[in-house]
Chain A
Amino acid sequence: MIKIPPYLKKGDTIGITCPAGYMEAKKVQTCIHTLQSWGYEVMVGKTIGSKSTTYFSGTDEERLDEFQAMLDNKSINAILCGRGGYGVSRIIDSLDFKQFKKQPKWIIGFSDITVLHGHLHQQIKVASLHAPMANAFNGGGANKVYVQSLKNALKGIKSNYKTESYSFNRTGKCIGELIGGNLALIAHLCGSKSTYITKDKILFIEDIGEYIYNIDRMMIQLKRAGILDNLSGLIIGKFSDTKNTERPFGQSFEEIILQHISAYDYPVCFNFPVSHEEENVALKIGLMHTLSVTNKMVSLKEQ
C-alpha cells in the first residue's frame, strides 16, 4: 500500500531545495512569499542561489546533504524542489529514506524530479506531488489556477480536473493509481529499480524540446519495457517545442503515441494540463484516480 504523507496545516514548514540544476535566488522570491501568504513557514536551502558556477546547484554531496537533511528534519513538512534540469539520478541511490518512511512528507516537483517520483512510488511506496516548482510562481503565475492547484493539493483538497475533448482522444472510463512524469526520465529509469511498474495504473507523460523521432524511440522503449501494455489509462500532457529532423519524421507526436498503443484498449486523453508550460496542475502520484474520457470532455478525479 502507498502511504500518503500528512497534508499541511497552517504554520507547517516547506523546505525548498535544488537537487538538480542551478537556480538564482531571485527567481525563488515570489514562490517564498506566496507560500508564506498561504500560511506556511519556508526554509530555503543553501542550494538555492548557491555559489556553484556549474550546471548544478551544488556538488553532488552538497545537493545530497541538503536533500537528506530535509528528508530527516522532522520540522519540515514538505519539500518543494526549486527546479529540475538534470541531476537527481546522480544522487538518488545515496539518499537514505529510513526516517522519511517513518514520517513521510510531500515531495514536490516535476521534470527531472520524475526520478524521485519513480523511486518514491516504486521503492519507498510513498505518494508524492507532481506539481509546479518555484519558477511557476513568477510572472503572475502564483495567482493562476495551476499554482493554486498546488495550494489545494497541499491542503488535502481532492482534485477534480476537467479538460476539453481533443480529436485524438480515445474514450472510456478507468480507475487506477496515478503515476507519471517526464517521458525522457521515465524512459531513463527503465532497467533500474526506480522504474514504474505500471500495471492497472493511470500513466501521465509530458516532455519538452524533444525530437519527434526521439519521442517515437522513447515510446517504443516504454512499450518494450512493458510499461504500456497493462495500463488502466493514459494521459498525455503537452509536448512543448518538439523538434523535427531535416528529413521530416512524417508523423505528429499524437499519431506516434496512438500507433504504439493501438493494440491496447484503455482510454487515452491528450492535451491534459501537465507540462513545462504554465498549464501544469498538481497531480498526486500514487493516489487512486478516475479518468473519464468522453466525446464531450475529460475528467481526472481523485478518489
Chain B
Amino acid sequence: MQRKSFLQLAGLSLLPLSGFSNSSVSRRPHRITIPPYLQKGDTIGIVCPSGFSTMEDIQSSITQIESWGYKIHIGNTVGKRDNTFGGTDEERRSDFQSMLDDTSIKAILCATGGYGAVRIIDLLDFKSFKKNPKWVVGFSDITVLHSHIHQVYRTATLHSKMSGSFPKDWSIADPIQIETINSIKKALEGEKIQYPIVPNLNNKIGEAEGVLVGGNLKILENMSGSISSIDTAGKILFVEDVGEPLYNIDRMFCNLNRSGKLNQLKGLIVGSFTNIKPDNLDAPFGRDIYQIVKERTAGFDYPICFDFPVGHQKNNFALKCGIKHRLDVKIDAVSLNEIS
C-alpha cells in the first residue's frame, strides 16, 4: 500500500513529463495483415522446416484435414532426413519457399518442430507471401517463423499443434486432444478465439487488450538481438517451454526482461513448462515457475495468467499471433477473447 501511494504520488508530480515521453515513444499504428481464412476446397501444404517427419507421422493429419474439406499438398521435405533435420538446409529452404510462393496454397502447416527453422529463416524470400499472405501454422521451433513474420512482415500467424500431434485414431482420442486439434480448424476458418481458462491462484488479476504474440521461451531468447526479435510493447505475450531446468527458465526470463520484452506488456500468459529438468538435489533452485515469473515481473502491474493451455502437451489451443485479444483475469474466471 505504501509503495502504491508512493507511485501515485510520483505519477502525479511527473504527469507532464510522462505525457511527453508517452507521445515521443508512441509507435506507428500496428497494421497487421490477416491472411484470408480458409474455405472448403482450399489447399494446405505440409512441410518440414525444422526436424524430420515421415509420411507415416503425418498420415493422421492428412486424413483429418481432408475430412474437414481441404486438399493437402505434401512438401518434398516430408520423409526427407538429414540427421535431425527434415532434409538439408537447402532442401528445407526450397520446400518452404515454394509453399510461400505457390498461390494455390492457403496455409502452411509445419509437420513438426525440433530444431532448424533459424538456419533457413534469413534465406527465405517473403516477397510473394507479402502479396499473397497465408497462414503459417505450428509451434515450438516454429516460433522462429512467428517472431520473424510478426516483426518483419507484420502478418498474422497461427501458433498451434502440428501434423505429428493429430490423434492416430480419432474415435479413441482424448477429448482434450480432439478439442485442441479442432481449435486449429476453427482458427483457420476465421472463428474468433474465445477461450475460458481455469483460474490459477497465482494469477495476477486485471484486464488487458493488445495484440497477441509469443511462443517458445527458448526461441524468444534465441531471437533476441536479431531482426526477428518481437517488439512486445503494448502487446499480450504468451510463453511456454519444455525440458528446461528451472535455473535456465529463470535466466531466459532475465533475458526477456533485460531485452525490454517484459516492461511494456499489456498482459502476460504463461503456458505450461513441461518436463522440467530436475535440480541437483544438493542445490535446488528453490523456486517454481510461478515464483520465477512473479520475481521477474515484480515491478510491473499488468495481469498475468498461469497454466494457460499452450505448450508441449495435449491441451495446446490454437492462438492467433498478431491479432488483437482481450485477456480477462478475475479471481474466479479467466478468458482470452479475440477482438477486432
Contact = CB atoms under 8 A, between A and B. Distances in A.
A248 B82 CA distance: 9
A145 interface: no
A278 to B, nearest CB: 22
A245 interface: yes
B84 A248 contact: yes
B258 A194 contact: yes
Interface stretch (A217-225, A268-276, A281-289): A217-225
B258 A192 contact: yes
A38 interface: no
Contacts of B119: 216, 220
Contact of B251 (A86, A216, A247): A86
A134 B122 CA distance: 43
Interface residues of B, number: 34
B115 interface: yes
Interface residues of A, number: 35
Given A54-B286, A89-B251, A221-B226, A250 B258 contact: no
Contact of B258 (A193, A213, A216, A220): A193
B72 interface: no
Contacts of A245: 84
A249 B84 contact: yes
A247 B84 contact: yes
B215 to A, nearest CB: 15
Contacts, number: 96
A86 B247 contact: yes
Nearest to A93: B258
A192 B251 contact: no
B222 A191 contact: no
B337 interface: no
A124 interface: no
Interface in B229-254: 229, 247-248, 250-252, 254
Contacts of B227: 224
B221 to A, nearest CB: 7
B259 A217 contact: no
B94 interface: no
A48 to B, nearest CB: 15
B225 interface: yes
A21 interface: yes
A250 B226 CA distance: 26
B118 interface: yes
Given A21-B283, A54-B286, A191-B224, A213 B260 contact: no
Residue from the set B221, B254, B285 with the largest chain A CB neighbour count within 10 Å = B254
B279 to A, nearest CB: 7
A188 B225 CA distance: 10
Contacts of A187: 221-222
Contacts of A92: 258
A235 to B, nearest CB: 21
B157 interface: no
Contact of B286 (A55, A188, A213, A250): A55
Contacts of A93: 258
A22 interface: yes
A226 B227 CA distance: 10
A194 B224 CA distance: 13
Contacts of A74: none
B83 A247 contact: yes
A217 B208 CA distance: 34
Nearest to B229: A191
B285 A55 contact: yes
A67 interface: no
A220 B258 CA distance: 20
B182 interface: no
A221 B224 contact: yes
Contacts of B258: 89, 92-93, 189, 191-194
A217 B225 contact: no
Given A193-B258, A213-B115, A55 B83 contact: no
Contacts of A226: 225
A292 to B, nearest CB: 30
B19 interface: no
Interface string A4-27: 000000000000000001100000
A260 B293 CA distance: 34
Given A21-B283, A86-B251, A89-B258, A213 B84 contact: yes
A195 interface: yes
Nearest to B115: A213
A220 B118 CA distance: 7
Contacts of A243: none
Contacts of A190: 224-226, 255, 259
Interface string B250-294: 111011001111000000000000000001100111100000000
A225 B286 contact: no
A220 B115 CA distance: 12
Nearest to A226: B225
B228 interface: yes
B254 A90 contact: yes
A38 B119 CA distance: 49
Contacts of A204: none
Interface string B125-144: 00000000000000000000
Given A192-B258, A194-B258, 15 more contacts: A53-B286, A54-B284, A55-B283, A55-B284, A89-B258, A93-B258, A188-B255, A189-B255, A191-B225, A191-B229, A213-B115, A220-B119, A220-B222, A221-B224, A248-B84
25 contacts: A55-B280, A56-B286, A86-B247, A89-B258, A90-B250, A92-B258, A188-B221, A188-B252, A188-B255, A191-B259, A191-B261, A192-B224, A192-B255, A192-B259, A213-B115, A216-B119, A220-B118, A221-B222, A221-B225, A224-B227, A225-B224, A227-B225, A247-B83, A250-B82, A250-B84
Interface of B: 52, 82-84, 115, 118-119, 122, 221-229, 247-248, 250-252, 254-255, 258-261, 279-280, 283-286
